[in-house]
Structure 1
Amino acid sequence: MLMSFVTLYLLLSVSIGLYASSRVHNARDFVVAGRSLPLPIVTATVFATWFGAETVLGISATFVKDGMGAVVADPFGASMCLIIAGLFFAPLLYRMNLLTIGDY
């Protein structure tokens, strides 16, 4: 039973990947998804990437070093950083058709 679900999951994942890869024409298209994703999807992706990596890699060391206060304050600083970058850098990068700040 478990192997059936695992196999079904893998087949579904590979199918979605093959379908998505047929819509990608170059590296730029892959990186920005053809600039066609709606704002809620982009927002969820950015927050999941940011907080997922931070939770796995950094938050435990922050807790050991600075205690619970740093852990509670951490999401607010990261959120503000993302909002500020989105308000000030994203429009410039989009208008100039750049992918990263380093491309500037």
Structure 2
Amino acid sequence: MNISGILVVAKPDWLATVVDSLGALPGVEVHQVDETDGRIIAIQEAEDIHAEIDGVKRIKALPHVVMADMVYHYLADDEKEYEQIPPELVEQEQACAVPAYLSE
């Protein structure tokens, strides 16, 4: 079982819609919403690392989501050993650059 903490930033006018969309995803629970700046903290439970990454990709693809990044990860009871970083994680790392407008 993998547990992820995911920071989601939504367009403020669509915050309620994004919260509802997140709540409808399997294994995802919304735990905190900051209406001032459109930030949402969601927790995701997934069977393995591949399902976890697929879940983050689904969140990123939701309409009106500006960004979504995994900020916490807990791995429990995964008996599979990896010789190297799975390719989808390498792709994920490269795609997670902070957009310039959020760094200003």
Give the TM-score band, short-chain normalised.
under 0.3
Structure (1/2) with the larger helix percentage: 1
Higher relative contact order (CA 8 A, sep 6+): 2
TM-score by length of 1: 0.23
TM-score by length of 2: 0.23
More strand by share: 2
